[in-house]
Structure 1
Amino acid sequence: MAGLIARLKAYSRTPQGRRTIASARRAASDPRKRAQARSLLTRLRGRR
C-alpha cells in the first residue's frame, strides 16, 4: 500500500499529474459533474 501512495505522490509532482489534478478540480467545481459522480458512486456501492 505504501508503494502505491509513493507512486501517486510522484505522479502528482509531474507536469502531467498537475494537469490531471487541475482538470479534476475543475470538474469537481461543476455542479453537473458532481451530480454525475455522486450517482456513479451510488451505483457502484449498490452492487456490493
Structure 2
Amino acid sequence: MASIWQRLTAFLRSPQGRKLTEQVKRAAQDPKNQQRAKDALKRLRKR
C-alpha cells in the first residue's frame, strides 16, 4: 500500500494537482488572503 506521502506526491504531479497548485499560489498572493492568514495565526498564538 502506498504511503500518504507517495499518494500526495502522485496527485500533485497529476494535471489536477498542478491546476490546484496554481490556484493556491494565486490565492496566496492576494493581500486580503494574506491578512486572513496573519489574523488566523495571531488567534492561534494567543491560545
Give the TM-score taking structure 2 as reference length: 0.70
RMSD (CA atoms):
1.8
What are the residue-to-residue correspondences of 1:6-45 with 2, within 5 Å? 6-43=6-43, 45=44
Please list every run of at least 4 consecutive aligned residues from structure 1 whose deviation after the TM superposition is greater than 3 angstroms.
40-43
Q: Which structure has the bigger radius of gyration?
A: 2
SS across alignment from 1:10: helix
Identity %: 40
Deviations 1:19-39 (A, max 9, x none): 100000001111111112333
Stretches of structure 2 lacking an aligned partner (at least 5 in a row): none
Stretches of structure 1 lacking an aligned partner (at least 5 in a row): none
Give the TM-score taking structure 1 as reference length: 0.69
Letter in 1 for 2:16: Q
In the alignment, the residues of structure 1 paired with residue 5 and residue 25 of structure 2 have an alpha-carbon distance, to the nearest angstrom, of 20
